[in-house]
Copies of this chain bind each other. A is one copy, B any other.
């Protein structure tokens, strides 16, 4: 939950230090340059190969996977006039979602979530976007396929994508990230469904552990989603002129999706809390049943043992002991006591 930021303490603002786990071995840079009629996609080795696109009127999308190389970030930043604080934030992967308007460009930070099927946990990654008048930069911690559908839509050239500007591309990237949340929520919804079955069938201490894990995932999700809502709300309110009017309605749509995600997260949270209560009551209920049954058994035998003990005494004069049918009488008395107690417990509905 807490990223190692201590290595940055005391350094002047704008110092480029990579914060967070290094998730990619090498940095991978791809450039897509397009307008309605033109399309060019290439993978470049050095960031400098992107610079010529700067003065073209076409839309240039530079995607960088891997954030640990300060030299790349710095070269890009200096060429495009990014503020040192923006460069610093690009490399500090513990940012919360935010949007900063630097007039000639907008800097947007998002959290991308993914579900690790092996460990069955939700992991997250920082995705940063920079939108300028004719370019979009996207930064991911490691190579991923979340932006592939967007690439495909640019390639095949159908629909609105190629007709609209870099603001629409930025919207499409944000939309990919937000829509992916629904897939995570579906996955968590399934986990909750399985847990609920388990809770009814056979709750164990592991069930409790799973509930607590789910609860933690929910805290995790909320941290990513709540600030995202504010980011998109600010974009949608038209705070920046880089987003054109025609894109606004799409931003409103992605804002709606964010609200829906928040709503679902909150409902799931409520459900998980309810499951915790159910778990605790069902465990306590079961324990009570066990203890009650055992105590009833013990309670029935204790008076019987007393009667047996009574006639095990060695007094010289115990008249009952001399009766030929004394033993059978004692057995009958014991049976009567046992049945009487059972009847009483039954009537009291103790079992």
**Interface on A for B, CB 8 Å cutoff?**
1-2, 4-6, 8-13, 83, 85, 94-96, 98, 100, 148-149, 153, 159-161, 172, 175-176, 179-180, 182-183, 185-186, 188-189, 202, 205, 208, 212, 215-216, 219, 223, 249-250, 252-253, 256, 259-260, 263-264, 267-268, 270-271, 274, 276-278, 280-283, 285, 287-288, 290-292, 294-299, 301-306, 308-327, 330, 348-350
Give the docked Cα–Cα distance between A80 and B9 (Å).
33
Count of identical protomers in the assembly? 5
Report whether B271 and A1 are in contact in the complex, using a CB–CB cutoff of 8 Å: yes
8 closest residue pairs by CB, A with B: A10-B149, A308-B309, A2-B189, A311-B313, A315-B327, A312-B312, A5-B182, A294-B299
| A192 to chain B: closest residue by CB | B1
List 14 contacting pairs A-B, 8 Å CB cutoff, sorted by A. Answer: A1-B264, A2-B268, A4-B186, A5-B183, A6-B186, A85-B249, A94-B260, A280-B281, A294-B299, A302-B302, A313-B330, A315-B321, A316-B323, A317-B327
Report whether B313 and A314 are in contact in the complex, using a CB–CB cutoff of 8 Å: yes
Taking CB atoms, residues of chain B closer than 8 Å to A268 are 1-2
Asked whether A189 and B1 contact (CB < 8 A) given A263-B223, A287-B292, A318-B327, the answer is yes
Give the docked Cα–Cα distance between A96 and B259 (Å).
9
Taking CB atoms, residues of chain B closer than 8 Å to A314 are 311-314, 318, 321
| Residue in B96, B188, B288, B295 whose beta carbon sits within 8 Å of that of A295 in the complex | B295
Report whether A302 and B303 are in contact in the complex, using a CB–CB cutoff of 8 Å: no
| A226 to chain B: closest residue by CB | B263
Smallest beta-carbon distance A59→chain B, Å: 16
Taking CB atoms, residues of chain B closer than 8 Å to A260 are 94-96
Candidate in A176, A259, A313 with the most chain B CB atoms within 10 angstroms: A313
Taking CB atoms, residues of chain B closer than 8 Å to A324 are 316-317
Report whether B312 and A179 are in contact in the complex, using a CB–CB cutoff of 8 Å: no
Assuming A287-B292, A315-B327, what are 4 further A-B pairs, CB within 8 angstroms? Answer: A1-B267, A85-B249, A95-B260, A298-B298
| Residue in B98, B219, B263, B301 whose beta carbon sits within 8 Å of that of A270 in the complex | B219
Report whether A83 and B249 are in contact in the complex, using a CB–CB cutoff of 8 Å: yes
Report whether A330 and B315 are in contact in the complex, using a CB–CB cutoff of 8 Å: yes
